[in-house]
Structure 1
């Protein structure tokens, strides 16, 4: 059992201020819900949650567990002066602590909000003190807790933070916030950030497995009808599982792993021992190997339920164009996990332009045999390529990703392991993590949730991708193609000096400014900009304007 908890800690880690450096200003502001300043003269601190939404089993772990409270916080501290050795990797302390949401909600402990700590020993083979997570980090509180530097990924991290989606008054809040603070060795404030640690308990299966709901999910021995709704649907699931699968063949293997189960999962649970699903079903999320002959957990769940029709619905969960089919189990109808730029995109009729299935494929594709759950995931280049922005990453019902025509917006190959190229581990310009500038998976900037956007607004004055060079550069460097994604410098100097480069590199210009050089979504300004030209006078552009050769010239070849 010790081997399991080690694997959990390691694998979930891989998954799942004003003034300068001499400032001694108090950074404790924000208790009234205000967002403290996060830009300083000398440093920029960028922080993010790795997945955009973490799931937990909720308040009750006495029956079975799929996912424990385990949230991941990442950060990068950037020195603004100079253009080399920008990352601050030592000689500082970076901490996290609870911060109020915009509504004033504060979340400073978790042990009173779930019974996870009562069952951690039986489930994960480790005795945990209240509010301590599986990786040793604490629930955010008023006391600062440290992040550690990870050389492999070039980020600061605090993984396995056990946070719940309830504030200290018992009110549901899926977006609790933390303040991240960087100080030098003598305690001087360098920079702060305030970010969301999103968490949801909507993965609860009650629509079909609560007693007396979906007739096709009725156990052979009838519904459990337990008075506690948090136990009821879980017990029904175990009873239904026992109807289909005899676990007696695995009792010896379970015991060898330290799990003393009864003749059935249902009997085991009602006798007081909760079930860890990932012991039998291999799980990359929890780092378990499972047993031979038993499908991985993600395969079993998605394949089994692909053709289920929800109560009060005419659509199966396998429907290609229905985000609600995913939200039936994943967070969720209330949480609306897919809340970033892709989730917000609308078709002309107002309907969602991009669904979960647009990137992941349908439920059968996610549950197909041989898929490596948590690592076989969509990549950026399947949609963002050759100057185009596709609205689907997959090209068939098997979930095959569109081949990439170029790598301008590509994730890193073989990251974090061979055969995988995950966005949440990829980095680009200046070794910056993609998530540091673009936001977390499922919450890509700009998000529909206001608190997701606070960091980018505070850093650059507007929501969306961190796109202003001055966020990380005191003096932006001059380059023709070494900026993020091969971009040139922006600003007055480029206006003054771009002529010679543009005359000899029109194809390069066309990649972002369009084949007709009249601008495209790739040449849109993120904020309003004004430039001065000798020949055409002042030029003013509103935010979102697609910069074109025709804004100042009569086309690209006009002298």
Structure 2
């Protein structure tokens, strides 16, 4: 920030450096290896008294001088020029810290020049002994020059103790200096052989050509063990975080690695062609090809080395855009632009947002990115983001994908950069599409119930409270159609009797308009790809349809209808997340209907992925995941995790996410070493989520205040409790899941999360198995204390979950009396007070929990004075003041 920015939007400074540097490094390594080659080959000519070989050396020296002194010298000056304007802060540090070493290097370079000029121009005049001494002096000086420059370059990747001591000797003799020195020496020897082959084909006598080609090829094979073993040593010195961020997540490094491996194979395969008799014209073509592949090989290595430093220019000290790590906290607090010496805008306002964003882009992004340019085009990379998606990307930048530097600046500055990128460059609006409001009162009423005559009651509940479905089946799926009902049939009496499947059969049917879900989603077209089974249209994976019968779960002693493929899309084109089912209990002997009831099967497709990933709701502007949103999600996954899901989906093979990521709720074991699905989703997105309260939950789950679902709608919501009161905020929630997964990647996802309590105090948990326990707050079934929190004290296993737990008698599920999760009685559904309270209204003419206000006669035929189901049961409803209408209370 102490220097003005060199603004080149089409070719960024980093690319300019790469173009000049790779060319120079290619020649400079040849200068080192070629010096050893000249001395050794000339010595061989003297020892064997081979005049032809000596003549080859003389001609090769002219070629060598022309390449190294002219092209090498010019490109060397070019490097100093380009790094001085591309990364002036880093250049200044290197000069000031290593001024003594640069002086030494210039001495060696001067000796190198003088020795080579004398060797070339006095080649025929010097005695053999003196000529060889001059050649050896050049070779030693060139290698020493490499030794000095190598130490300084390696300092940028592994500064070692210098970060603490600021001692130049610690910086020079850093962890990677010696392995890199051996590696580069091997490169130099290899390039000497490659250039020797080229020189042989153009400057050697024909009768000597076969011998010289074999001789030069040997230099490649002598270099191989140096390169191979030292490369392993070199890689071991790379910082551990860099190994993960740059060698696992960074796609550009992976491409460079492939190029390095492929070019290595080609170099040695092509070299074999020079060991056999081949047409001279073809040999020359192969020689040019070998030089070009050698340049690609070195370029791919330098690319990998440069990226291994990311997100720094000097690892752990100076970010790639020239800001020191020690300045980060101050700039985040006080403002980046305020301290940017050459910025025209010092403070972000509504009027200058775009200009301020451009200034920030120039200062923080332009060193690596272009605008519609040759490489790392920011327009192309930002294309799949909305404004809020870009704000989130900048918030999480450099946290999970650590090869990018973190955004530095205030929240307003982050928003300004997002505005510039999205509004100015992409010409997109700042706000996502407005949700289309469709909530209306649903016309349904409970069946009648005569407490004097009716002998049976049916309790039906949805154990999840809300079944979510991803309807982007052409592209991916992680929540497929398949709702579940559980039910009990009780014969009323002084001692109520729970009936099993030997006495009654439970039959269900959905209300009109929901019977053909296959007309609204493509799940059935891709079920074979997802689950390796053909699923008949309008049936679920378990064979259940929209009308059918309950099964009996002998272990749990409960009726269950699992896998009902109900969707919130009605035949008439309306969105209704609360389809109502009618359930009948039929006597198995007589066929008589013993009792009827209604129950809602809540189901939602209202995912707001488009808020970040662009697009709009698929279904009539109300809900669902559109093609554009789904494609952007797949492309983001492919980019960040090196998958090919988008291409696979185009070929008719969409991905089922839980094939890789374990998920208890769908019965998937996933792949060992991968995070569970919940940990992966929450752990990744928590790092990018600028909100930490319930707004983070609303962005993904179907409960947005302006949404059309409202999945959280019970008494707790009415009392003002939010998602974070039971589950913890997004960082806490993600931390508990990641600690429960405990994979290699979970550690990196955890690193930048900031939960409200220390991470070591957060209890790990398994998703869907260990959840907040109701008794965390309702200790002894009493009124919660004001400071009570539901999170960080999880159920031990599935048996402790509210949706599975039974009362003290271990017979009656909690859901019978209290209703479904997130819809506990009394529930306050925006689609009508009746919807989630159908059974309380039917059996006791109010919307309170079953049996509340001493309504024990629903099952017992009389009031009870013993709290047999759980303590603190025999009392009036605590929150009656919240109930205001005539439908609320009897």
TM range (shorter): 0.5 to 0.7
Q: Classify the secondary structure of the residue corresponding to 1:111.
A: helix
Report the CA distance between 1:300 and its aligned residue.
1.1
**1:425 match: secondary structure:** coil
Distance in 2, Cα, partners of 1:391 & 1:139:
44
CA deviation profile, 1:460-510 (whole Å, cap 9, x unmatched): 011110011111122445x4x343313576xxxxxxxxxxxxxxxxxxxxx
Secondary structure at the counterpart of residue 816 of structure 2 = helix
Instruction: Determine the C-alpha separation between the residues in 2 that align with 1:41 and 1:340.
Output: 29
Q: Is 1:151 aligned to 2:554, yes or no?
A: yes
Report whether the alignment pairs 1:441 with 2:821: yes
- The partner residue of 2:459 within 46, 67, 71 is 46
Specify the alignment match of 2:109 in structure 1: none
User: Structure with the greater relative contact order (CA < 8 A, sep ≥ 6): 1 or 2?
Assistant: 1
Q: Secondary structure at the match of 1:300?
A: helix
Q: Which residue of 2 aligns with 1:72?
A: 484
Rounded to whole Å, the distance in 2 between the matches of 1:437 and 1:283 is 29
- Corresponding residue SS for 2:460: strand
What is the CA-CA distance between 1:296 and the residue it aligns to? 1.2
Hey, what does 2:576 align to over in structure 1? 173
CA contact (8 A) 1:359 1:393 kept: no
Q: Which moves more between the two structures, 33-42 or 131-140?
A: 33-42
State the match for 1:486 in structure 2: 871
- TM-score, normalised to structure 1, is 0.66
SS at structure 1 position matched to 2:633:
helix
1:122-271 alignment, distance < 5 Å: 122-140=529-547, 145-185=548-588, 186-210=590-614, 230-247=626-643, 264-271=644-651
Counterpart-to-counterpart distance in 1, 2:787 and 2:477: 33
Q: 1:525 to 1:201 in 2, by over 3 A?
A: closer
Per the alignment, do residues 32 and 244 of structure 1 end up closer, same or farther by CA in structure 2, a change over 3 Å counting?
Answer: closer
Larger Rg, first or second structure (1 or 2): 2
Q: How does 1:381-396 map to 2 (within 5 A)?
A: 381-386=775-780, 387-390=782-785, 394=789
Q: Does 1:35 align with 2:35?
A: no
CA distance in 2, matches of 1:298, 1:274: 20
Residue number in structure 2 paired with 1:424:
803
- 1:476–1:527 CA distance, 2 compared to 1 (3 A): farther
Q: 1:467-486 alignment to 2 at 5 Å?
A: 467=851, 468-476=855-863, 479=865, 481-486=866-871
Q: Distance in 1 between matches of 2:534 and 2:716?
A: 41
Q: Distance in 2 between matches of 1:379 and 1:208?
A: 33
- Cα gap change, 1:526/1:79 in structure 2, threshold over 3 Å: closer, same or farther? farther
Alignment-derived partner of residue 718 in structure 2: 344
What CA RMSD, in Å, does the superposition of the two structures yield over aligned residues?
Answer: 3.0
- Structure with more helix by fraction: 2
Distance 1:443 1:139, change over 3 A: same
Secondary structure of the residue aligned to 1:138 is: coil
Q: Is the 8 A contact 2:492 2:861 kept in 1?
A: yes
Runs of at least 5 residues in structure 2 that lack an aligned partner in the other structure: 1-441, 618-623, 741-764
Note the alpha carbon deviations across 1:303-333, whole angstroms, 9 max, x for none.
1111434xxxxxx24x13x2x3212111132
Please say if 1:359 is aligned against 2:726. Answer: yes
Structure 1 counterpart SS, 2:658: helix
Residue in 2 aligned with 1:9?
none
Quickly say closer, same or farther: Cα 1:525–1:229, change in 2 above 3 A: closer
Q: Which has the higher strand share?
A: 1
Q: CA deviation at 1:525?
A: 11
Q: Aligned-pair distance for 1:35?
A: 3.4
Matching residue of 2:703: 332
C-alpha deviation, 1:366, in angstroms? 2.3
User: Structure 1 stretches of 5 or more lacking a match?
Assistant: 1-30, 101-105, 214-227, 248-263, 310-315, 346-352, 403-410, 490-511, 513-519, 529-542, 545-559
For 1:82 and 1:120, locate their aligned partners in 2 and report how far apart those are by CA, in whole Å: 49
8 Å contact kept, 1:358–1:391 = no
| Residue of structure 1 in register with 2:769 after alignment | 375
Residue 332 and residue 96 in structure 1: after superposition, are their counterparts in 2 closer, same or farther (change >3 A)? same
Task: Please tell me whether residue 92 in structure 1 is matched to residue 466 in structure 2.
Answer: no
Q: Aligned partners of 2:847, 2:797: CA distance in 1, in Å?
A: 31
For residues 459 and 211 of structure 1, the distance between their equivalents in structure 2, rounded to whole angstroms, comes to 46
Matched-pair contact (CA < 8 Å) for 1:359–1:392: no
Tell me, in whole angstroms, the C-alpha distance in 2 between the residues paired with 1:299 and 1:268: 25
CA distance in structure 2 between the partners assigned to 1:193 and 1:304 by the alignment: 43
